């Protein structure tokens, strides 16, 4: 996006990429259907973004003033890609794929004169402030009047974002917040207080890992006032939990663990039923039927949800009507750690936003601009991440063009 805006300003552009082809993570984002943006607009959309300290992020709001959700849809349409709004408010290309959009975009960029250089690994600067690149086993230097860095965070490093830029910028005095996983899964602590080992039981993992839990509501009340409540679904993993509902709360859970060593969440396994209704149904006489059969017939609790109860309740508590009913509406799970940043969908941390001017130029390094996930902001999944990355690219490209015009 930065290259596109620079070419629109009549500036010569060379784009260097460490990978063999452009847009590897963009293509991965479209593997299950490219969620390009979200249909929310204005303040509702902007409120989804936060800075590294978890507060609102006015800088991202400024980027979105240049390119928001409707603007991104119009941009895609200009490349011949129509979009639609899904039932959740997320926006997708009509064919759901990312490859056609990327092909059309690269074709337009090449036709405009952007020159692409693949398999070029950026190594920093030499003493003459030229860019150093490793390519085909050799190193060479490139002089550039302005540079836009869009180097990603640290998630999915096999696609190119390996955080190798962090020491290069830190050595130049740029303040960088530590990279942390965002939109990520979590590993369990003790699921049951009398369990000998953390995590799920071997039986539970063998039978249910990889399966979704739905519908369910997640409730989190942190020790320092952080809170979250939402209905949705998530997936059981061998070590814990992942999926859209977990990702939505991940920044809060991550910070809770960092501060207190664990995060306690509660699951409402029957979010469409009231506490009183559940208590009454559990307390109904069951005669000779087992409790498992009783829960299945009265409340539809079986399979994975029934197994979750056994993971957190002792045999004695499972037969206690009041404890069982309360747990159905508030099943406790202790999370001990986020999954590694390399596995996360996105990255929190990066170049701190006060290090940049309104055009996203580093104040420590005049003529060097930064964009995308390498900056210290985060957002939930749902098209928000991709929109803000594109918007920051537009701002950085236009900022670089303005700087070049002012410094010929």
Contacts of 299 (CB under 8 A, 6+ apart): 270, 273, 278, 281, 282, 328
The phi, psi pair for 133, rounded to 5°, reads -130, 140
Instruction: Tell me the C-alpha distance between 3 and 69, whole Å.
Output: 20
Among 55-59, 194-198, 263-267, 398-402, which stretch is predicted with the lowest mean pLDDT?
194-198
Provide the mean pLDDT of the chain: 94
pLDDT at residue 194 greater than cutoff 60: no
What is the layout of strands, in order, in the sheet containing 131-135? Answer: 121-125, 131-135, 138-142
Closest CA to 267 of 344, 222, 213, 310: 213
pLDDT band at 408 (very low <50, low <70, confident <90, very high): confident
Q: Is the peptide bond before 90 cis (omega within 30 degrees of 0)?
A: no
Q: How far is CA 98 from the centre of its chain?
A: 18
On the CB side of 164, CA atoms within 13 Å amount to 12
Domain with CATH 3.50.50.60 in the chain: 2-181+345-406
Strands (E), 126-261: 131-135, 138-142, 147-149, 176-182, 186-188, 212-221, 227-236, 240-242
* Superfamily of chain region 2-181+345-406: FAD/NAD(P)-binding domain (3.50.50.60)
Q: Determine the pLDDT at residue 198.
A: 77
For residue range 64-107, list pLDDT tens digits in order: 999 999 999 999 999 999 999 998 899 999 999 999 999 999 99
Chain centre to alpha carbon of residue 13: 30
- The whole-number pLDDT of residue 195 equals 57
Is the pLDDT assigned to residue 193 strictly greater than 70? no
Instruction: Please compute Rg for the chain using Cα positions.
Output: 25
DSSP string covering 229-243, please?
Answer: EEEEEEEE-SSEEES
Residue 354 CB-density burial (10 A; 0-12 exposed, 13-18 middle, 19+ buried): exposed
Banded pLDDT at 192 (limits 50, 70, 90): low
Q: Give the burial string for 121-149 (b: 16+ CB within 10 Å, else e).
A: bbeebeeeeebebeeeeeeeeeeeebbbb
Q: Is the dihedral of CA 77, 31, 90, 8 positive or negative?
A: negative
Alpha carbon distance 292, 289 (integer Å): 8
Q: State the pLDDT at residue 226.
A: 87
Is the Cα dihedral 391, 254, 263, 327 positive or negative?
A: positive
What's residue 52's pLDDT? Answer: 66
DSSP 3-state assignment of 351? strand
Please give the average per-residue pLDDT across 201-209, as a whole number.
95
On the question of pLDDT at 31 being above 80, the answer is yes
On whether the CB atoms of residues 18 and 122 are closer than 8 A, the answer is: yes
Q: What is the pLDDT of residues 316-360, one digit of tens each?
A: 999 999 999 999 999 999 999 999 999 999 999 999 999 999 999
Question: pLDDT tens digits, residue range 119-138?
Answer: 999 999 999 999 999 999 99
Least confident window among 48-57, 65-74, 278-287, 304-313:
48-57
């Amino acid at each position: 996006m930065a290259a596109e805006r620079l070419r629109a300003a009549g500036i010569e552009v060379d784009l260097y990429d460490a990978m063999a082809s452009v847009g590897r993570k963009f293509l991965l984002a479209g593997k299950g259907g490219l969620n390009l943006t979200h249909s929310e607009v204005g303040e509702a959309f902007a409120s989804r973004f936060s800075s590294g300290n978890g507060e609102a992020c006015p800088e991202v709001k400024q980027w979105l003033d240049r390119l928001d959700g409707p603007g991104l849809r119009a941009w895609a349409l200009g490349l011949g890609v129509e979009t639609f709004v899904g039932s959740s408010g997320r926006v997708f290309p009509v064919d759901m794929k990312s490859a056609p959009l990327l092909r059309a975009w690269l074709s337009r960029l090449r036709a405009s004169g952007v020159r692409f250089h693949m398999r070029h690994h950026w190594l920093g600067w030499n003493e003459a402030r030229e860019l150093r690149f490793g390519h085909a086993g050799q190193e060479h230097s490139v002089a550039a009047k302005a540079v836009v860095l869009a180097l990603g965070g640290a998630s999915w490093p096999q696609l190119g974002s390996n955080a190798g830029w962090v020491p290069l910028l830190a050595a130049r005095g740029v303040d960088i917040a530590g990279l942390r996983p965002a939109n990520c899964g979590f590993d369990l602590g003790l699921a049951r207080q009398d369990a000998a080992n953390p995590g799920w039981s071997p039986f539970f993992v063998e039978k249910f890992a990889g399966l979704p839990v739905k519908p369910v509501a997640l409730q989190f009340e942190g020790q320092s006032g952080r809170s979250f409540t939402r209905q949705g679904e998530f997936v059981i993993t061998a070590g814990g939990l992942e999926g859209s509902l977990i990702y939505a709360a991940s920044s809060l859970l991550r910070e809770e663990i960092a501060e207190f060593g664990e995060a306690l969440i509660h699951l409402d396994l029957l979010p469409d039923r009231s506490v009183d209704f559940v208590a009454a149904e559990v307390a109904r006489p069951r005669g000779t039927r087992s409790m498992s059969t009783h829960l299945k017939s009265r409340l539809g609790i079986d399979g994975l949800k029934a197994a979750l109860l056994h993971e957190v309740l002792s045999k004695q508590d499972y037969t206690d009507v009041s404890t069982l009913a309360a747990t159905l509406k508030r099943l406790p799970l202790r999370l001990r750690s986020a999954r590694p940043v390399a596995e996360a969908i996105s990255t929190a941390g990066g170049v701190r936003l006060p290090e940049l001017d309104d055009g996203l130029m580093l104040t420590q390094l005049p003529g060097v601009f930064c964009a995308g996930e390498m900056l210290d902001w985060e957002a939930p999944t749902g098209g928000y991440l991709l929109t803000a990355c594109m918007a920051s690219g537009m701002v950085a490209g236009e900022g670089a063009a303005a700087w070049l015009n002012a410094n010929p």
